[in-house]
Structure 1
């Protein structure tokens, strides 16, 4: 490692910290410029930018991991590039070439290598690529120019005392509309989730569960994460719906469940009144990898899965295998990891 950075790896949470470099690229006159690394973490944009008025923006989240041998690797950045382009198509922003996206991530990690936490701390370097519509624009229409950026922040392990179950309550609010932007990673989805999240926390829960907006009978998302359940006959089940954000962690867990643990995998409807078909349940996403679900409150009743205090054995195996792949301790499927140097 190069210079010593003044970071206490053991005290890291999920909070912002200015690192040395970020990547910036502009799209104008129908094309992207070359892009460059800059030290300034402030953006200057027109007051009439579509990102500020009409929500024309999207983002991604992925991590860089330090392996036991000191090398650094990214986990499936091509999938984040694909998902970002899917979000861009949904809100009429220009796509970012996959190679450019991955190269930007690699450049940012290399330039901030000293901020990649040491192996064994459980901490990682979180990358936040985002795109915003900028320029002088008043009418409701796509922006004339776009800004693509990638910045990074070291973040701690999600569970400080090790993997631990938490409880959730079913929200009265919808996260997305049928045929809306639920499957795109756009800021508006998150702005709309702030109030239901706060209400859930006030009731003593970790977050809320969103049901499908059309019938309110099926589980869609758990806060800002995807749901999965382990049935009594050891099937890995996760909801299927056009308004769920396609989690890269979820699809990775589906592959691991099938190929590494020999389980059957089903993407299908998960009815809120049929929770007793699952012996274990969890939420999955980039930040926590897996959040084990202790129980779900629905209509005043708390349904407990495996335990409110202990993590189920299948959930733990899934977590250990995925983390093992991400940190380079378990052999990864072809193309899942990208070495930074």
Structure 2
């Protein structure tokens, strides 16, 4: 049947770190970065006017190894100190490392963009640093400072800048990881932690490219439960989602939309992104309450929607409300702002309006414009590398 119808989140939201990020570029960390890159980079790989030899017109969301990665370590009773850029390659871990035995690990995702004038930018990297700190506290880990995190991301991007796609061809996806690398047998926090970053040039996350997504509502498996780690970007959140995701993809769907584990009625998020719906010019999204990841793109879209005059609600959304929604879209670092063409729930398929003049299109245009530099960045979200 087809119906066609026209304590965690608040901490990130209150952060004002982004307004002072410009100062990071003049810090001692930045000068150390410049020195280390000058020694490490070969002219052929670090030339501003050179690109890596790949097909920029056919980038998907797969791993393309780049030239360099970033690493730093600390013991359990210490703080992280200055790390270093090194050649991309495998890392060595003890078989009893905390991350391998007990899943003590976090990751983030950030994109670096190239503009028409050749300048390179990041989008709100301080928020990724804050989210990693929140996750580290939940997982009993030691995390880098905000300054260390942003510095490391910048240094990784600069070392791999020939892999940053031409304007409009994609982005350099930067993956910071924090893992319990120390050897341990009994269940306890790791005695050592490693922070590392690698990067890969990417295009669209979904195989559909820019085409509307088709989501499947999963009512058997659940992504997270209250009191768990669903609200932080723990590595343990993702492997359990593979079963439901594979089931959906084998059925021809783009991704899974999960319901809450308590009532099995309220929508939460997809496997890799947050979800929004639009009805009567009101933009609604599930409230983050420990089971939903506080997405940085999600928070940015909420701010942009309010700037554009839309009423935004963060609340519990029963799955039945999707039937009457006029628009549905997803947000995330990997997916950006992606329209949803249909949602299937208990054998019923609901299709939604499409078009650049709809709310989703306007939000996407503004969001992408801020990243490209064609829309004024009034909030200090863009950080030049």
* Equivalent residue number for residue 338 of structure 1: 383
Asked whether 1:268 is paired with 2:315, we answer yes
- Uncovered stretches (5+) of structure 1, i.e. residues with no partner: none
Deviations 1:159-179 (A, max 9, x none): 688632121111120001111
- Uncovered stretches (5+) of structure 2, i.e. residues with no partner: 1-47
* CA distance in 2: counterparts of 1:299 and 1:15, whole angstroms: 32
Q: Report the more deviating stretch, 71-80 or 267-276.
A: 267-276
TM-score, normalized by length of structure 2?
0.84
* Equivalent residue number for residue 125 of structure 1: 172
- 1:67–1:329 CA contact under 8 A, matched in 2: no
Q: 1:315 aligns with which of 360, 363, 367?
A: 360
* CA distance in 1: counterparts of 2:252 and 2:296, whole angstroms: 29
Q: 1:213 aligns with which of 236, 261, 277?
A: 261
* CA distance in 1: counterparts of 2:176 and 2:342, whole angstroms: 33
Deviations 1:17-71 (A, max 9, x none): 1211111000114121310000042111111101001000000001011112110
Q: 2:306 aligns with which of 258, 277, 300?
A: 258
Q: CA RMSD in A?
A: 1.5
* Equivalent residue number for residue 6 of structure 2: none
Task: Tell me: CA distance 1:201–1:120, structure 2 relative to 1, closer, same or farther (3 Å).
Answer: closer
Distance apart, 1:312 and its partner CA: 6.5
* Equivalent residue number for residue 223 of structure 2: 175
Deviations 1:65-89 (A, max 9, x none): 1112110010000000011111111
Task: Tell me: CA distance 1:18–1:162, structure 2 relative to 1, closer, same or farther (3 Å).
Answer: closer
* Equivalent residue number for residue 109 of structure 1: 157
* Equivalent residue number for residue 26 of structure 1: 73
Distance apart, 1:4 and its partner CA: 4.1
Q: 2:99 aligns with which of 44, 51, 66?
A: 51
- 1:68–1:328 CA contact under 8 A, matched in 2: no
Larger % of helix: which?
2
* Equivalent residue number for residue 200 of structure 1: 248
Distance apart, 1:218 and its partner CA: 0.3
* Equivalent residue number for residue 191 of structure 2: 144
* Equivalent residue number for residue 40 of structure 2: none
- 1:58–1:87 CA contact under 8 A, matched in 2: yes
Distance apart, 1:2 and its partner CA: 4.3
